[in-house]
Amino acid sequence: MWVVQVQMAAGEPALGLYERDADGIRVIGARGSLDLGAAAEFCARVDAARMAGTRRLLLDLTQLGACDASGLRALIGAAAEVAASAGRVALVPPVDGPAARLFALTGAAEFLPLHPTRAEAQAVLGSSG
């Protein structure tokens, strides 16, 4: 269930977010466009989870259609904030489309803990350490 819709100027949803818990792991999923207009809401959701005591966070970006430099910066910052508060984070990147190309071109895997599937990300977060 998509719980947040960040609207574009024309009224179309630019970013949809959902949140759920899966085996003690907080999952935040995003679809649409993670850009300058939506990055603040995305970061607010991650920060709220962190402040609520979440120590294991999975960011599901498999349905993300587009991501610009501000969105990528928001992801890097969010992952760093979780790690700084003794938490663990795993990201599942988009598989294709403009957002996937951005991740590939920028070498996002050097800065973000990317995993190819949700199952693998959950397994990594579910393990100790």
Give the structural domain span for 42.
4-126
Q: How many domains, in total, are found in the chain?
A: 1
Residue for token pair 């995993």 = 115
Indicate which CATH number applies to the domain containing 87.
Answer: 3.30.750.24
Non-local (6+) Cβ contacts of 22 within 8 A are 58, 122
The per-residue pLDDT for range 15-71, each reduced to its tens digit, is 899 999 988 999 999 999 999 889 999 999 999 999 999 999 999 999 999 999 999
Torsion of CA 87, 92, 97, 101, to 10 degrees: 60
